[in-house]
């Protein structure tokens, strides 16, 4: 293929995947509200749209009640009054929500959704992705997650409000603190697969027993905890604590500009669930995926949904951290765990590669046995 054809294919696939994720974001909000309602023994959204199923006695059954609730929320956000405070920095104020959404959408580029596949005569190799075969895919992910910090800081600064500035500083301190632990935890799958290409990392986890979550449970735990903090999801959602007087960095936003921050959060929930699945849970790998590559989409979607439901379950079950507890957990708990795990894993892999592991184990046993 010529470079122009490659670029055109990337644009088309990127448009389709962005549309899928944006639609998925809308229905992730519905999933959260319905699942939370079930966990808390109450009724979730059930009025805005349903599929009527006739029954005996004249009463109809309402299937999928509330299915149009995301559409109703979108209409409300689009038509809600969107005032701009008088003394804001208009360029920064309007740029911040765009950066938040951009950082979420750009993460889609390097995620492998399934293996090598032929769709309508187009061959996707070595795997199906917007930009397949990128050998620095993990660095790209870390770079894009860092851009999200700028969106939050600029939202607080551009609002010209002391509450928004303090909220932006607090949110950015939280995100930067947990990015360090998350970045080191990502290094462990890179070392084990000997590649920064997410497709190679997925291919290295061929069967369920080869998933890195079994071989590196500490790294998987740190990544998932840091991802929750990066998303500012419960129990790390100090930005939306009920005891606060304001909503934090986005207190001066309303209408669709507020909705863009909301959109970025839920899109990142989907995408970080996909990244966790790729790094530690086999990605698109599953039974019969070699014979039927389209199953890769199904397997990855199921793992993403499982990740989303885990986040919602945590929100319904766990108390929120205080801010000092949040920072201590990041710096004094997660970071030491992942650093020690990184050193041990690196040492093990080097000794294994050099063929010195058996003699090292013998020397170690002699040392402890006196």
Give the whole-angstrom CA distance, residue 228 versus residue 177.
Answer: 12
- The answer to whether residue 44 is domain-embedded is no
Region of 282 (left: φ > 0; alpha: ψ -120 to 50; beta: rest) is left
Q: pLDDT confidence of 300, banded at 50, 70, 90?
A: very high
- Predicted confidence at residue 319, as pLDDT, reads 86
Domain contains 39: no
Residue 275's pLDDT band, with cuts at 50, 70 and 90, is very high
Q: Compute how many other C-beta atoms are within 10 angstroms of the C-beta atom of residue 183.
A: 18
Q: How many Cβ atoms are within 10 Å of 79's Cβ, its own excluded?
A: 10
Looking at per-residue confidence, does 259 or 367 come out higher? 259
Q: What is the mean pLDDT of residues 350-370?
A: 79
Q: Does residue 96 belong to any structural domain of this protein? A: yes
SS3 243: coil
Total-model pTM: 0.89
Per the model's pLDDT, the better-predicted residue between 358 and 305 turns out to be 305
Angle formed at CA 10 by CA 7 and CA 14, multiple of 5 degrees? 145
Rounded to an integer, what distance in angstroms lies between the CA atom of residue 231 and that of residue 145? Answer: 10
Q: Of 80, 172, 183, give the one whose Cα is nearest residue 140.
A: 183
The percentage of residues in the chain with a pLDDT greater than 70, rounded to a whole number, is: 96
Residue 265, CA distances (Å) to 10, 196, 227, 271 in order = 25, 25, 11, 10
Q: Other C-beta atoms within 10 Å of 257: how many?
A: 19
Flag whether 75 is in a domain: no
- CA-to-CA distance for 365 and 109, rounded, in angstroms? 47
Owner of token pair 């580029």 = 109
Residue 207 maps to a domain: yes
- Confidence band for 137, pLDDT divided at 50, 70 and 90: confident
- Answer yes or no: is pLDDT of 121 > 80: no
For the beta carbon of residue 78, count every other beta carbon within 10 angstroms: 11
Instruction: Give the Cα separation of 152 and 169 in Å (integer).
Output: 8
220 pLDDT exceeds 70?
yes
| Tokens, residue 353 | 């590669």
153's enclosing H/E stretch is: helix 137-158
Give the per-residue pLDDT at 301: 92
Domain that holds residue 125: 3-25+83-362
Higher pLDDT, 177 or 61: 177
User: Out of 122-126, 139-143, 192-196, which region has the weakest mean confidence (pLDDT)?
Assistant: 122-126
pLDDT in tens, 30-87: 888 889 998 888 888 888 877 777 777 667 777 777 888 888 888 888 888 878 888 8
What's the structural domain count of the chain? 1
């Amino acid at each position: 293929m010529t470079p122009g054809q490659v670029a055109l294919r990337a644009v088309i696939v990127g448009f389709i995947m962005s549309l899928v994720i944006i639609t998925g974001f809308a229905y992730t909000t519905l999933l959260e509200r319905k699942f939370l309602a079930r966990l808390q023994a109450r009724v979730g959204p059930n009025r805005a749209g349903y599929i009527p199923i006739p029954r005996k006695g004249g009463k109809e059954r309402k299937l999928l009640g509330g299915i149009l609730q995301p559409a109703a929320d979108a209409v409300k956000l689009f038509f809600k009054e969107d005032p701009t405070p008088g003394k804001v920095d208009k360029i920064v104020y309007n740029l911040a929500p765009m950066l938040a959404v951009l950082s979420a959408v750009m993460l889609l580029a390097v995620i492998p959704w399934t293996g090598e596949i032929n769709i309508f005569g187009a061959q996707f190799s070595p795997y199906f992705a917007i930009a397949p075969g990128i050998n620095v895919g993990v660095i790209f992910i870390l770079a894009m997650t860092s851009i999200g910090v700028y969106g939050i800081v600029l939202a607080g600064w551009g609002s010209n409000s002391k509450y928004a500035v303090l909220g932006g500083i607090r949110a950015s301190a939280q995100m930067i603190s947990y990015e360090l632990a998350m970045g080191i935890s990502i290094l462990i799958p890179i070392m084990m697969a000997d590649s920064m290409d997410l497709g190679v990392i997925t291919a290295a986890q061929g069967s369920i027993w080869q998933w890195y979550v079994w071989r590196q449970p500490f790294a998987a735990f740190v990544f998932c905890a840091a991802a929750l903090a990066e998303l500012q999801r419960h129990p790390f959602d100090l930005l939306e604590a009920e005891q606060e007087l304001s909503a934090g960095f986005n207190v001066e936003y309303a209408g669709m500009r507020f909705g863009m921050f909301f959109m970025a959060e839920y899109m990142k929930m989907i995408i970080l669930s996909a990244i966790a699945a790729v790094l530690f849970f086999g990605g698109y790998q599953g039974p019969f995926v070699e014979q039927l590559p389209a199953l890769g989409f199904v397997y990855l979607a199921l793992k993403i949904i499982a990740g989303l439901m885990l986040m919602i379950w945590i929100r319904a079950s766990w108390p929120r951290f205080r801010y000092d507890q949040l920072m201590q957990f990041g710096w004094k708990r997660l970071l030491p765990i992942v650093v020690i795990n990184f050193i041990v894993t690196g040492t093990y892999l080097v000794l294994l590669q050099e063929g010195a592991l058996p003699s090292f184990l013998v020397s170690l046993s002699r040392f402890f046995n006196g």
